[in-house]
Structures are given as structure tokens and as C-alpha cells.
């Protein structure tokens, strides 16, 4: 009796082990089939290195000298489409910036002129955007641009809008040892190259993977769209869209075909969805101004050229996920908030004028506290409040925006009155009546 019981137990255990193994094999087979069929969702890491057995001499030698580059590029869709190292790097001996290398000539940093051979539309759109020459002019000024580039700059419909020179003063004051790692690190996205072409695609498309996933992730933009004066990244993180990304983004179709994205690929938007992607009815663009209605970065925001068309395009993106009523209400409220911030900045200009008009300020920018107070008010907190409104970051609208503006305003009034007091002038109240006049 005892023995039979034991035997039964043995049979039971063996049977369960076999069943478990069978299920495991089934699951593995399912995973493999799944992996094969979901080719569009394959992560870049899972792609084969198409250059692994290449006999190209650039590849063979660089696989030894810079294996990282060959490894990365070998996994790109461009390598899979037979685009080689030479297509981007090789130039004639007399090409501006050419370096003699291994019996030929190469560019160390391929320019947009190289990309343009195959990506005409993207380069043309990029050139029409503020990521191109306007970003460079923002610190370098337009005075030294050769005439051809000056023409290109002036032909950008919303490009030459440049209402404020205060930051150029900072650029000059800080000097090249600093600005190389500061202003230029971000604004060189639009720097002209020796061959006359403009910009650096690799500011967003990290070489040598050129991966759709990488450029669609919001972290790509946070290289530059971050910090107290343009915290779009921080704002996005606290928005409902950013929370959807942080909590569910691992299931989104990061590698989906460009130009045909919809809500099954991205149930909530990233920066790229709203500002670049072909999404729903909208087509892909590298002209980031195409969907914007205000110059939000300006001290006092004004409308962009053809802004109504831009609104239609941006709302076309929202409309894939929100109803028209919701979107229109949002835009009406956000317009009103933008105008309110404008009012506060205009008032701060009037307050400052009570010292300026009396000759109580030096001409030198950023040499006395009052310059910083006024700059902080609009450049940091005013802009942040506007960005927070438009991209749904309540904390940035409130505690890093409106509240800080009110605080800076109180400081500004105190500082202006101190100067007036020292000069023997009457102190001012800056009440509603004062601003009416």
C-alpha cells in the first residue's frame, strides 16, 4: 500500500514536470513567432549588425579602430539600406573642411549638404525653421553672415523675429571660454558649416544609429529644452501626456513607420508627436514653427505670420485624441493666460522706465542687480509660465511662473524706488492708476 502511494506520487510529479516543460516550450515558440511577425516594433538592439561581415575597407579598419561606430551604424536602417560610410564622409580633395585620410578625403563632421543628397525635403524644412540660422544668430548676431546666408536667414518667414538683445550682451560678457560649453552647445544646432550648408542634424539624430525611437523620445529634446528659462522637458514630465509616457511608454510603437503614426502607435504624444511627427491628418515636418501661433519666447508675445494656419495644424494633432470642444476651450483659455503674462511683463517695463527715464540706470547691461531682476521676471518666470500653460505643467505656471513674477515685481519696485530715493526723487506707488496713464 505504502509503495503504491509513493508510485502514484512519482507519476504525478513526473506528469507535472512534463506538462510544465511542454508549456514552457509552447511559450518560447510563441515568443519567437511573435518576435518575427512584429518586425515594425523590433527594438534597435535586436536588429542584426549588417556590417558584421562587410569587406568595405572603411568598415574593416574602423571595426578595429573605432568598433563603437561600426557597431552602432551596423544596426541602423540606413546601413540596412546600403548607405555606406563614404556616402556621408567622403568628399573631394578641394571640399571645404576635407581631411586627407587613407587614400581619399573625408569630413570629420558630415554637414547637412551630405544628408541633402538623399533627404532633400527634411533639409529644406529644417532650413526654414528656427532650429537653423535663427538659433545661431541668437548668440552670434546676423552681422557677419555672408550675403547668401543672410538672404537665407531673411527668407525664413518667422526667422528674423529677434526682439531682445539682452542675451547677446550675456554672450559677450561671459566670453568664449564659457560660451563654447553654454550658448553654443545648444544654439549650434543651426550653425553654418565651412561648405555653406546650415545646421547639425546630429544634434537630434545621434550618430551613428540614426534611430527613430531615439529621436521620438522626449529625452532627445531635453539636451536643450530644459532649465529655468525654457523648461519644456520638466513641464512635459508633469503633464498628463508625460505621465502617460513615463508609465506606459514601454508599450508604444517607437519604431513605427514615419508619416503614418496614429493613436495605436502613440496613445499619448511626446514632443516629437506635437512638433514634428506625421500624425493622423498631419504630415511630418522639420519646420518646428509650422504648428505654433505665438512667439512665446519673446518678452511680450505676439502672433506669428499665418498663425491661424499653424493653429489648424497643431489642433489637427490634438484632434486625434481630444474632441474639438475640449481643444477650442483649451486654446481660448491658453490665449487669455498668454495675454495676462504679457500684461505683467509690460507693467514691469513701465516700472523699470521710472528709473531708466530719469537716467538712474547705467547703459551697461547686467552690471547691477536691477538688470537681473527685470531679466528674471520675463526671461525665466514669464516665459516659463507661458510654456507651462501651453504644455500643461501646473507647477511651472504657478510656483516657477506667476508666483515668481509677483515676487520679482515687488523686488523691482523696491529697487527702482531705492534709486529714486537716492536721487532725491519721489517714490512711486505703481498702483492701478499709475499703469492706466
**Least distance CB 197 / ligand HEC (angstroms):** 9
- To which H or E segment does residue 105 belong? strand 104-106
Instruction: State how far the Cα of 162 lies from the Cα of 156, in Å rounded to an integer.
Output: 12
Instruction: Please report which residue ranges of 251-323 form alpha helices under DSSP H.
Output: 271-275, 307-318
Q: With respect to ligand HEC, which residue has the nearer C-beta, 43 or 86?
A: 86
Query: 220 near 254, Cβ under 8 Å?
Result: no
Q: What would the DSSP string read from start to end of 304-330?
A: PTTHHHHHHHHHHHHTTTS-HHHHHHH
**Least distance CB 37 / ligand HEC (angstroms):** 19
Q: With respect to ligand HEC, which residue has the nearer C-beta, 95 or 104?
A: 104
Query: 239 near 393, Cβ under 8 Å?
Result: yes
Q: With respect to ligand HEC, which residue has the nearer C-beta, 211 or 417?
A: 211
**Least distance CB 217 / ligand HEC (angstroms):** 8
Q: What per-residue string of b and e applies to 416-425 under the rule 16 or more CB within 10 Å gives b? A: bbebbeeeee
**Least distance CB 420 / ligand HEC (angstroms):** 31
**Least distance CB 349 / ligand HEC (angstroms):** 18
**Least distance CB 13 / ligand HEC (angstroms):** 49
Q: With respect to ligand HEC, which residue has the nearer C-beta, 320 or 418?
A: 320
CA 222 to chain centre: 6
Q: With respect to ligand HEC, which residue has the nearer C-beta, 375 or 390?
A: 390
**Least distance CB 97 / ligand HEC (angstroms):** 10
Q: With respect to ligand HEC, which residue has the nearer C-beta, 46 or 437?
A: 46
Do β-strands 104-106 and 99-101 pair in parallel, antiparallel, or remain unpaired? antiparallel
Query: 142 near 153, Cβ under 8 Å?
Result: yes
Three cell numbers, residue 84: 555606406
Q: With respect to ligand HEC, which residue has the nearer C-beta, 290 or 404?
A: 290
SS3 of residue 104 by DSSP: strand
Torsion of CA 297, 376, 187, 173, to 10 degrees: 140
Helix 324-356 crosses helix 383-391 at what angle (to 10 degrees)? 180
Amino acid at each position: 500500500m505504502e509503495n503504491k502511494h509513493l508510485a502514484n506520487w512519482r507519476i504525478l510529479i513526473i506528469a507535472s514536470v512534463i506538462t510544465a516543460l511542454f508549456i514552457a516550450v509552447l511559450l518560447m515558440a510563441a515568443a519567437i513567432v511573435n518576435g518575427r511577425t512584429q518586425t515594425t516594433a523590433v527594438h534597435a538592439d535586436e536588429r542584426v549588425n549588417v556590417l558584421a561581415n562587410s569587406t568595405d575597407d572603411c568598415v574593416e579598419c574602423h571595426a578595429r579602430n573605432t568598433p563603437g561606430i561600426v557597431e552602432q551604424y551596423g544596426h541602423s536602417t540606413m546601413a540596412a539600406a546600403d548607405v555606406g560610410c563614404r556616402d556621408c564622409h567622403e568628399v573631394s580633395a578641394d571640399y571645404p573642411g576635407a581631411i586627407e585620410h587613407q587614400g581619399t578625403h573625408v569630413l570629420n563632421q558630415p554637414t547637412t549638404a551630405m544628408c541633402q543628397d538623399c533627404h532633400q525635403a527634411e533639409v529644406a524644412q529644417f532650413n526654414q525653421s528656427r532650429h537653423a540660422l535663427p538659433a545661431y544668430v541668437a548668440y552670434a548676431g546676423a552681422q557677419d553672415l555672408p550675403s547668401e546666408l543672410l538672404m537665407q536667414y531673411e527668407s525664413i518667414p518667422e526667422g528674423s523675429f529677434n526682439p531682445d538683445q539682452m542675451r547677446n550682451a550675456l554672450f559677450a560678457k561671459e566670453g568664449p571660454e564659457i560660451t563654447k560649453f553654454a550658448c553654443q552647445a545648444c544654439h549650434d544646432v543651426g550653425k553654418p558649416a565651412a561648405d555653406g550648408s546650415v545646421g547639425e542634424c546630429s544634434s537630434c539624430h545621434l550618430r551613428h544609429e540614426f534611430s527613430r525611437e531615439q529621436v521620438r523620445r522626449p529625452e532627445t529634446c531635453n539636451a536643450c529644452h530644459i532649465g529655468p528659462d525654457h523648461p519644456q522637458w520638466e513641464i512635459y514630465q508633469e503633464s498628463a501626456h508625460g505621465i502617460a509616457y513615463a508609465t506606459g511608454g514601454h508599450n508604444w510603437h517607437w519604431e513605427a513607420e514615419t508619416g503614418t503614426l496614429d493613436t495605436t502607435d502613440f496613445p499619448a504624444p511626446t514632443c516629437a508627436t506635437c512638433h514634428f511627427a506625421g500624425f493622423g491628418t498631419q504630415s511630418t515636418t522639420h519646420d518646428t514653427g509650422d504648428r505654433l501661433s505665438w512667439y512665446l519666447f519673446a518678452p511680450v508675445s505676439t502672433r506669428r505670420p499665418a498663425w491661424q494656419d499653424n493653429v489648424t495644424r497643431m489642433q489637427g494633432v490634438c484632434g486625434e485624441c481630444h474632441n474639438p470642444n475640449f481643444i477650442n476651450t483649451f486654446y481660448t483659455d491658453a490665449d487669455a493666460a498668454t495675454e495676462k503674462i504679457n500684461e505683467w511683463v509690460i507693467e514691469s517695463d513701465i516700472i523699470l522706465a521710472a528709473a531708466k527715464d530719469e537716467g538712474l540706470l547705467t547703459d551697461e547691461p547686467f552690471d547691477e542687480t536691477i538688470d537681473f531682476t527685470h531679466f528674471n521676471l520675463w526671461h525665466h518666470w514669464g516665459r516659463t509660465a507661458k510654456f507651462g500653460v501651453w504644455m500643461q505643467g501646473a507647477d511651472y505656471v504657478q510656483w516657477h511662473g506667476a508666483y515668481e513674477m509677483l515676487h520679482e515685481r515687488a523686488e523691482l519696485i523696491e529697487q527702482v524706488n531705492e534709486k529714486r530715493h537716492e536721487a532725491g526723487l519721489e517714490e512711486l506707488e505703481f498702483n492701478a492708476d499709475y499703469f492706466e496713464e
